[in-house]
Amino acid sequence: MKCSTFARVSVFVIIFLVIFNFGLLARTYHDPQAFFSFHVPRHWVFQVSESDPQLSVFYGANLEELVYVEHLGSVSDVDSESFASRIMEEYGSIYGLKEFAVIEPIQRRELDGFPGAVMIYEFKGTITRMEQRIFVVINTQGYTITYSDASCSFWDNVVAFDLFLDSWRWLE
């Protein structure tokens, strides 16, 4: 009987730790402009030297893994989908990203109650990279939130991006 009580308590403790693990291992990042906040997993590092008031950069646990958030200021696009389409057209142009290819086309995706657009694409930089990018337009202000990784490990690691997005809050 004692063993089964111990086993039940152990299972409860394990479930508790799994459910609340993210909260214990995360800290909250607040945008310096006070536009948004989100939880950053402990193994991710804010890159002060690569960030500025319009760009927040975080490196992940893996060598090529990063998340970056851009506030692009006022945009002329009427919604997130047209914003995404315009940027992707630029990426695919002769002056855009080298060997740019759409992996998953633009789809609607809400981010903390605001309509957004999400897509996945690949391009060749110093290495071949794959990115999942979310586009949001709020009161004419354009934002992109991007998960980027080496193409060879993207699908194994992109789940980490959900940790950022699930805790995302718009502050304005």
Q: pLDDT tens-digit profile of 76-97?
A: 999 999 999 999 999 999 999 9
- Give the residues of the chain that fall short of pLDDT 70: 1-25
The model's pTM is 0.83
Domain extents for the chain?
2-170
CB atoms within 10 A of CB 165: 19
Q: How far apart are CA 118 and CA 106, in angstroms?
A: 5
Q: How far apart are CA 112 and CA 131, in angstroms?
A: 21
For 143, the enclosing helix (H) or strand (E) is strand 141-150
Q: Which CATH number fits domain 2-170: 3.40.1000.10, 3.30.460.20, 3.20.20.70, 1.10.150.120?
A: 3.40.1000.10
* pLDDT for res 128: 97
The answer to whether 142 touches 74, Cβ cutoff 8 Å, is yes
Rg, the chain, Cα only: 19
* pLDDT for res 4: 52
